[in-house]
Amino acid sequence: MYLAQRGYEVTAVDTNANALQALQAIVQDEGLSGIDPRVYDLNEARLVADEYDFIVCTVTLMFLNPNKMPAIIANMQEATKKGGHHLIVCAMDTQAYPCPVNFPFTMGEGELKKAYEGWEFLTYNENLGTMHNGARLQFATMLARK
């Protein structure tokens, strides 16, 4: 909604149709335009190539199928226009900070950065953070340009 309020065309994806309906209700109540909600499972890895200027994927990857992760990341990269950006935040599981939550997928040290070789890193870190439930774990955080 923030980006739509600033004039950007936004595609909001989620596997939960109810969440998208709730978003659509807020969009209508706020009188916003430019938001296209779509039921979509990132595990399918079939975003349209060269469609997006900016992909935001925060605290999402850890809920996806680990076997599909290379295809998911490759598809997001292919779906991004040249000069486009990715903002990704993902839980990590490292020897120094084992993940206290049993997510289906977590990043290892340097794993996200390696997946984005050839991209320009505007920011990248692997720092400790706190989840909404108080759990402390390490997160890979990246803003990169294609």
pLDDT digits (tens, 9 = 90+) for 56-90: 999 999 999 999 999 999 999 999 999 999 999 99
The per-residue pLDDT for range 25-68, each reduced to its tens digit, is 999 999 999 999 999 999 999 998 889 999 999 999 999 999 99
Contacts of 109 (CB under 8 A, 6+ apart): 92, 94, 126
User: Could you tell me the pLDDT band of residue 135, with boundaries at 50, 70 and 90?
Assistant: confident
Residue ranges of domains in the chain, CATH in brackets: 1-40 (no CATH), 47-145 (3.40.50.150)
Burial code (b: 16+ CB inside 10 Å, e: under 16) for 37-74 equals beeeebeebebeeeebeebebeeebbebeeebbeebbe
Rounded to an integer, what distance in angstroms lies between the CA atom of residue 65 and that of residue 73? 12
Inform me whether the pLDDT recorded for 131 exceeds 90.
no
- With 0.75 as the threshold, say if the pTM is over it: yes
DSSP H or E segment with residue 123? strand 120-130
